[in-house]
Structure 1
Amino acid sequence: MTALPPLRPRPDAAAFLATRRSRPAKTLAAPAPDSEALLPILTAALRVPDHGKLEPWRLIVLEGAAPTRLARLTGQLGQARGLDPDKLAKAQAMFRDAPLMVAVVAAPVASDKIPDVEQTLSAGALCLGLVNAALAAGWGANWLSGWMALDREWLDAGLDLAPHEWVAGFVVLGTETSAPPDRPRPDLGAKVDWVSA
């Protein structure tokens, strides 16, 4: 077995992680990454924790007419359910206005050893990995969800998902049009406990 080289500090990567900031989807515009630019982003995103090597997720790249179709479906199903018109308009715009969107599909695998919750966490890690890979490549990115991510009728009609699948996140990618201010960050003292015995 070949020994791996020892880990070395990566100040550039540490600085990126210390200052990373999702870009609001409504501030993202065309151009978005084309397939040549997107493939390395997707490749990097797939390097996530995956206990048992089950790969309990998959990606659907939504481009061309797909986001418009999904916006229309969102409007139809949302109206049929009597959803608040303002919230429904926002959900439709999420698809209609996306320069490019990748649906991260949670696809749990039956396993006696790996519980569903660990597989769900892996799908969530993939969402964050996709956002971070896009940001590191110089694109704007945002991880969104909404009622559509778990609505069986929407998932069937919109993405033709299997009955056990659902959407862990809709990741919007594009060109940043304005730099968002940083938001307040958690107080480490309130969120971190140190246990030594």
Structure 2
Amino acid sequence: MVADARVTEELKAAILRGEFAPRQRLVEIELCEQFDASRFAVRAALQALEADGLVERQRNRGARIREIGIDEAVEITQVREVVEGLIARRAAERVDDAEAEALAEIGRAMHAAVAAGEVGEYSDLNARLHALLRDIARHDKANGIIAHLHGQMVRHQFALSRVPGRSKVSVHQHQAIIDAVIARDADAAEAAMRAHIVSVIEALRAIV
């Protein structure tokens, strides 16, 4: 069954925006109306999103939003530690002067957002920083793994961004990553990224 790219992407975006709650049933006829799509296109989209880990199918009950528990979130983040460490290392090895300045600018903006208490802005800058590092690293397989895991972690990342004082801790971790990449120090970049992700794991466990 070949998925309709539009329906798949629109449904995925709605899930990532939090429009559907964990364990919420996905009724095909309602999705057809919401996304102006055929039953076939909706079924194919659900199948594709099941492969992404966002949807799960229950026998005789159809599909629902898959809930990611803390234990699974920690395991996913442990995988991120390894893969994003590789990305940071590759970024340090490949960064050019223009990319280095772009990283520095994001770092300055992150500090400004924290000082102003702009949690949403800081979260957006966080996403931009990690995306830019992936672009600089130019490692298709690593980027694909992170893209696959990202959707499963969105709700937990949102919860972490709202933890009081979390941004004041992570901004210095992100600055350490930026500084190491700009300095073209691959070992330091990987170590800084891994330390940051370990901190994320600790914060996830603290939420519980």
Per the normalisation by structure 1, the TM-score is 0.29
Q: Whose helix proportion is higher, 1 or 2?
A: 2
Question: Relative CO higher for 1 or 2, CA cutoff 8 Å, sep ≥ 6?
Answer: 1
Q: Whose strand proportion is higher, 1 or 2?
A: 1
Per the normalisation by structure 2, the TM-score is 0.28
